[in-house]
Amino acid sequence: MANTPQSKKRARQNEARYAVNKARRSRIRTYLRKVEEALASGDAEAAKTALRDAQPELMRGVTKGIVHKNTAARKISRLSSRVKALG
């Protein structure tokens, strides 16, 4: 348990940051799921649109420190190759 004023403040900040990061991570996963669903349905145009929407969201996660840069690049690369193969 936090005892000093500094550690109490740190605990509050960590809690707030955790909530924000959780929301951002959830938002990214939602965009990725939309791409996956479009790929599963076989709709090439919907998959392209979903991927175009997901890319900036994933890279925003990188700048915010939610996702590692290489992880985001790998996900975008793999999804874009699947979308390209579909269309």
pLDDT given for residue 2 in this prediction: 82
Work out how many domains the chain is built from and give that number: 1
Give residue-wise pLDDT tens across range 49-84: 999 999 999 999 999 999 999 999 999 999 999 999
CATH number for 31: 1.20.58.110
Range of the domain at 14: 5-86
Residues in the chain: 87
User: Is the entire prediction scored with pTM above 0.75?
Assistant: yes
pLDDT given for residue 54 in this prediction: 97
Q: pLDDT band for 1, please (50, 70, 90 cuts).
A: confident
For the chain, what is the mean pLDDT?
96
Within 10 angstroms of residue 6's Cβ, the number of other Cβ atoms is 9
Question: Is 70 in contact with 30 (CB distance < 8 Å)?
Answer: no
Upper half-sphere CA count for residue 63 (Cβ side, 13 Å): 6
| Burial class, 72, CB count within 10 angstroms (exposed 0-12 / middle 13-18 / buried 19+) | buried
pLDDT at 12 > cutoff 90:
yes
- How far, in Å, CA of 83 to CA of 68, rounded? 23
Tell me 87's DSSP state.
-
